[in-house]
Amino acid sequence: MRILRLKKNLEFKRVYKQGRSVANRFAVMYILHNGTPHRKAGFSVSKKIGGAVQRNRLKRLFREVYRLNQESLIKGIDIVFIARQAAKEVSFQELIKAFHDLFKKARIISGR
C-alpha cells in the first residue's frame, strides 16, 4: 500500500503542537488523531545528523520500517518521525525493533 505523507510545513507544525510524543534512543515520534480514515506519516532528519547522503539514507530506512508496519497500526492518525543521532549507526533489524517498541509505547498498534 502507498504511504500517505505529510508534506507541508503546516502539517508538521500541527502534529508537533497538538500531538503527543514518544521517544527512544533512535527516534522521536509525534502522534495526532486526524479524524479521517487515513494514516499519514512524515519523516524528518536534521542537518545535525550529517550530510544529504546520510539524511536521505535514514529517511529511506525510516520509510521502509514504517511501510512494513503500517498495516498493524490504527487508522486516523498523523505520525511524524524524527531521527536521532544514534540512528546513524543502527542496523535495519534494530531499527525495526525500536519502531515496534515506539508503536507499543504510543499504543497505536491495532487490535486486529
The CATH number of the domain holding residue 14 is 3.30.230.10
* 92 found inside a domain: yes
CA distance 44 to 30: 11
- Parent domain of 81: 4-106
The angle formed by the CA atoms of residues 13, 69 and 89, to the nearest 5 degrees, is: 75
Over the stretch 84-108, which tens digit does the pLDDT of each residue have?
999 999 999 999 999 999 999 999 9
Stretch 35-58: mean pLDDT: 95
Domains identified in the chain, total number? 1
Over the stretch 10-24, which tens digit does the pLDDT of each residue have?
999 999 999 999 999
CA torsion, ordered 11, 57, 92, 1, to nearest 10 deg: 50
